[in-house]
A = this chain, B = another copy of it.
Amino acid sequence: MTNIKNRRWVLDHYPEGMPGEDTFRLEEDVPIAALGDGEVLVQAHYLSVDPYMRGRISPAKSYAASIEPGQLMVGGGVGEVIESRSDKYSAGDFVETMGFGWQEFAVLGDRGLNKVDPDLAPIESSLGWLGMPGRTAYFGLFHVANIQPGETIVISAASGAVGQVAGQLARNHGCKTVAIASTEAKLDWCKEIGYGEGVNYKTEPDLAAALARVCPDGIDMYFDNTSGPIQDAVMMNLALHGRIALCGTISLSATFGQPDIGLRLNRQLLINRARMEGFLVTDFAAHFEEANQALAKAHKEGNLKFREDVMDGIANMPKAFIKLLNSENFGKQMIKI
C-alpha cells in the first residue's frame, strides 16, 4: 500500500477575520508512512466540516490548542480500513474519528477510533445525527439545560448539523420549539422536521420583538450556536430560570479573536435568575452511549430527520468551510471523497 499517495490540506497562515481559500494549502503526492503496531490506514469516504475549526486556526486561546501554519488541518472523518496492524480493526471495517484531518488517507492509532456499522445507518451519519453534532444537541438539551416538557426552546443555526437535531429532540420531548435561521428555505425545512415556529434573523427588522411574538411566555432555554446579536435578542425574552447552553459562536467568525463588544447581559441573567453555560461534547464522553441510543431510537421511530449538504472532492474543503462560516450551507456540511 505504500505506493498510495495522499492529498491533504495544511494551514498556510492564520487568517484575519473570515478565512479565504488561500488560508489553506493543498499538498499532493504526499507519501504515506508505514504502519506501526496498533495502527491502521484508513481511506476517507466523508470528511466533516464544522464551525469549531475556526477556533483552531487562530492563535487566540481556545479549548483546544491551535494548529500551526504548515500543519495538517484538523477535522473528523469516516472511512474504510484498507490496511491494519491493529488487532481491533481489519481491512474492510468502517471507522470514524474526530482526528482524521483534511486528507484522503490517514494513518491512525486504533485507540481514538469508533467502529461504524454500515448496516445501522449510512456511514456518513457518524459525522452527523449519530455523531458529534447529534450528541452535542443531546447533551446541550438534556445534560446542560435539563429541558422539561412544555418549555419554550429557541435554537439558533436551527437547520445546521447541531440545530436540526436539537430542534427534533426538544420537540420529541414535548417542548415548544423555535428555529432561528438565515433563509426562508431553511425555515421551511425546520417546520418540515417539526419545529413549531421560525424566525429569520436576516430579514426581521427587530429580532427581539419577533421572538416576543412567538414566545409570549418567554424563552426557557436557548441553544446558542451563534452568539452575537441573536443571543442579545433572545436574552431580552428570557423566562424566569432560563438556561442558555453556549455551544458555538459562529457569528464571530469574521472577527474571530478580536474582543466582542456589545450588550452585556448581566441584568437579564440576574433578573431572571438565569444560567448561561458553555459546554463541549467531549466533556460528556462517559455518556456517549446514552446519547447514541437516544439518537438511534428517535431515528428508528421516524422522529429524527437529518439534512446533509455534501460537496464532492477534497479540493473543495476550504470552499465548504467558508460556505459554512458564511451560513450558506443548508444542513450538515461535509465532503464526499
Question: Residues of A at under 8 Å CB distance from B?
Answer: 61-63, 224, 227-228, 231, 246-249, 252, 259-267, 269-280, 283
- With the chains together, A311 CA to B121 CA distance in Å? 74
- With the chains together, A277 CA to B240 CA distance in Å? 12
- With the chains together, A277 CA to B245 CA distance in Å? 12
- With the chains together, A246 CA to B247 CA distance in Å? 21
> Beyond A273-B63, A274-B277, A278-B271, is A264–B264 a contact (Cβ under 8 Å)?
yes
B63 touches A266 (CB 8 A): no
Chain B minimum-CB-distance residue to A263 = B259
Interface core residue of A259, A277, A280 (most chain B CB under 10 Å): A277
B270 touches A246 (CB 8 A): yes
- With the chains together, A269 CA to B278 CA distance in Å? 5
Chain B minimum-CB-distance residue to A252 = B267
> Beyond A261-B261, A261-B262, is A249–B273 a contact (Cβ under 8 Å)?
no
Chain B minimum-CB-distance residue to A238 = B278
- With the chains together, A279 CA to B263 CA distance in Å? 20
B271 touches A61 (CB 8 A): yes
